[in-house]
Chain A
Amino acid sequence: DIQMTQSPPSLSASVGDRVTITCQASQDIGNALNWYQQKPGKAPKVLIYDVSNLQTGVQSRFSGSGSGIHFTFTISSLQPEDIATYFCQQYDVLPFTFGPGTKVEI
């Protein structure tokens, strides 16, 4: 299985801050990388697909970059409603695997 790691496991930031989360795959996955947001008690929601494509309806303050093994997710200006856990997910090889998550707090 491809192992996905994320850092940091959690972070605390202020409203308006730029927040960056990294995701690393245990092998080259090309551009097969998505990012999800999960708010407490809710189902996950896709924000970014194929590394850098914004899902329809998602705010433009969210962005993604990277390729191969190293990937980055950025919130350009943190808002109170962004409090959530963020997961990366690879779909290059079965089984699909998720990162352990990064909890973002204010």
Chain B
Amino acid sequence: EVHLVQSGGEVKKPGESLRISCQASGYSFTNYWISWVRQMPGKGLEWMGRIDCSDSYTDYSPTFQGLVTISVDKSLSTAYLQWSGLKASDTAKYYCARLIQTGAAAGTFDNWGQGTLVTVSS
């Protein structure tokens, strides 16, 4: 069974750095991409970017380009989302999701992590 388990909630101050994680199990990690999706309080879903877990190739939404970094550690079957200088406006729940990239259902987020709540407040 596919599982994506995310790291726990974080409370940070503006300007601090942060890395959250998404550990995958139950499938061949390098055969899929991972995307990150932001959900601000009471709002909709925003796609942030995706990473090919086999070679770390990344695409970012223009909204998030330069603001976050997506990476993977294949040896740990884990994807990461990191910030170097958080803002209060980064307060949100962040989901990782497995992205089907080829064949039937390409472009579909078929498995999701439970979400990581990031709170940025002075």
B-binding residues in A (CB < 8 A): 1, 32, 34, 36, 38, 43-46, 49-50, 53, 55, 87, 89, 91-92, 94-101
Place the interface of chain B in its size category. 20 to 34
Query: Which chain B positions have C-beta within 8 A of A92?
Result: 107
**Docked-complex contact A95 and B47, CB < 8 angstroms:** yes
Chain B residue nearest in CB terms to A101 = B44
Confirm or deny: B63 has a beta carbon within 8 angstroms of a beta carbon on chain A.
Answer: yes
Chain B 59-85 interface mask (CB, 8 Å, partner A; 1/0): 101110000000000000000000000
Chain A contact residues: over half helix, strand or loop, or mixed? loop
25 A-B contact pairs sorted by A residue (CB < 8 Å):
A34-B109, A36-B45, A36-B109, A43-B95, A43-B112, A44-B95, A44-B109, A50-B105, A50-B108, A53-B104, A53-B105, A55-B110, A87-B44, A89-B45, A91-B106, A91-B107, A95-B62, A95-B63, A96-B35, A96-B47, A96-B107, A98-B45, A99-B44, A100-B44, A101-B45
A-binding residues in B (CB < 8 A): 35, 37, 44-47, 59, 61-63, 95, 97, 104-110, 112-115
Instruction: Report the minimal beta-carbon distance from B29 to chain A, rounded to whole angstroms.
Output: 19
**Docked-complex contact B108 and A91, CB < 8 angstroms:** yes
**Docked-complex contact B59 and A94, CB < 8 angstroms:** yes
Instruction: Specify which of B59, B63, B107, B112 is in contact with A45 (CB 8 Å cutoff).
Output: B112
Query: Which chain B positions have C-beta within 8 A of A34?
Result: 107-109
Query: Which chain A positions have C-beta within 8 A of B45?
Result: 36, 38, 44, 87, 89, 98, 101
